[in-house]
Every structure is written in structure tokens, then in C-alpha cells.
Amino acid sequence: MDAVFRALADPVRRILLEELASQAGQTLYELCVRLMSNHAIGITRQGVSKHLAVLESAGLVRVEADGRYRRHHLCPEPLTLGVAGWIGTLELPLPPRQPERNEAEGPEP
């Protein structure tokens, strides 16, 4: 789970996951174009490739060979099972409820 949190810590990697969620099976070139056109992020192919390697090692991205291309797919299981499952084990206390005020009572002192 630590690898997932490290992978999610970088905003470019989160954007890459969003792009893969919107369209599966993108190549490195397609992802580079989408980063530039949709998010105005100028990054080299090598930079995107390194980000994808981090996401793949965290189990968030699966790569399949398609001839001379490598197609990238989002793998949400580490998020839905790992992170969400861990969050579910936390007993988060609810904040104390503030009593509702009536407008006729006036502003708070």
C-alpha cells in the first residue's frame, strides 16, 4: 500500500490515471499528447515513461504489448481493495453536531 500512496503523491501520475480511466489502452505517445493538450503539461516522453513505470510497479497500471506498441490500462484494484479497504478499517469519529440556530434567535454571540 505504501507504493500506491507514493505513486499517488505526484500530481502528474494522478492525471495519468485520470486519462487512463477516461480511455483505456493508450500508448505512451497518446498519453503525452493528452497531457499537453488537456492539461498544458509539457513533459518529455521519457518523463511520462518514468511516471508510468512507477504506476505499474504500484499495480495501478497494466501494460499489454500490441505489436510494436505498449498499451496502458488502469488497474483500480489497489485503490478499491487496498486503499479503500484500509480507510474502511479506520474508525473515524464524526465531528460533533452543532445545534441548528433559528434566524429569529439572532447572530451567535
Hey, CA dihedral for 29, 54, 14, 62, is it positive or negative? positive
**Domain spans, the chain:** 2-76
The whole-model pTM stands at 0.77
pLDDT in tens, 91-108: 767 677 777 766 666 666
**73: how many CB neighbours lie within 10 A of its CB?**
13
Look-up of cell digits 506498441: 69
Q: For 99, what's the count of Cα atoms within 13 Å in the CB-facing half-sphere?
A: 5
Write down the CATH number for the domain with range 2-76.
1.10.10.10
pLDDT in tens, 72-82: 999 999 988 88
